[in-house]
Structure 1
């Protein structure tokens, strides 16, 4: 059993899928956040940057040893510019279109197994 202080490289779905699809996954997660939190507020450029970084970090299992920097750079490259005067909810629609253009299809996850292939992920030891 590894020491919990050891740096463990995690094998995630994001590490094995096409980087462009992973960028789409990040953009879709940002769109979900913008839709759920203050969707009628004005969208700001700094919000785009912060949300992309935060969602990439989340998808990298909240690990600084994960692929979050690469994922956030790829997502930022695919993210549309923020038009002046757009709301967070309206920008979320643009992000969803961009995610789909990246090849990310949220509905393909509907058939994913409920129990992960690696049960240690539940315990945080994987």
Structure 2
């Protein structure tokens, strides 16, 4: 009778589903556009969570207008925009966006 093997450690290899998805070309473009905007306009002001949501909607709408395409792009962009959970300037946040756009 074959021996049963019982793992003693949890699986440490990340599964494909656990890995963050790579942004689409449209999402990367929007991330770069947002980074450019917040770098040029008030880069020393604080970045806020409401601004994060507003920028995602604004730039997704500019890309697709209104409707399903815009909503899908906004959702995708929001998945790649880091949450603002600590004080950070708009300029510093733009650096994070540029990294996300290269993923």
Q: Common fold, TM-score beyond 0.5? A: yes
Report the CA distance between 1:83 and its aligned residue.
4.3
Contact between 1:41 and 1:87, CA under 8 Å: does it hold in 2? yes
Aligned length in residues: 82
Superposition RMSD in Å: 1.8
Q: Quick check: 1:23 aligned with 2:27? A: yes
1-structure distance, mates of 2:84, 2:48: 7
Contact between 1:78 and 1:98, CA under 8 Å: does it hold in 2? yes
Q: Which residues of structure 1 form unaligned runs of 5+? A: 1-17, 102-126
Report the CA distance between 1:21 and its aligned residue.
2.4
Contact between 2:60 and 2:73, CA under 8 Å: does it hold in 1? yes
Report the CA distance between 1:66 and its aligned residue.
6.4
1:68 to 63, 67, 70: 70
Contact between 2:23 and 2:101, CA under 8 Å: does it hold in 1? no
Larger Rg: 2
TM value normalised by structure 2: 0.72
Query: Could you list the runs of 4 or more consecutive aligned residues of structure 1 that deviate by over 4 angstroms after TM superposition?
Result: none
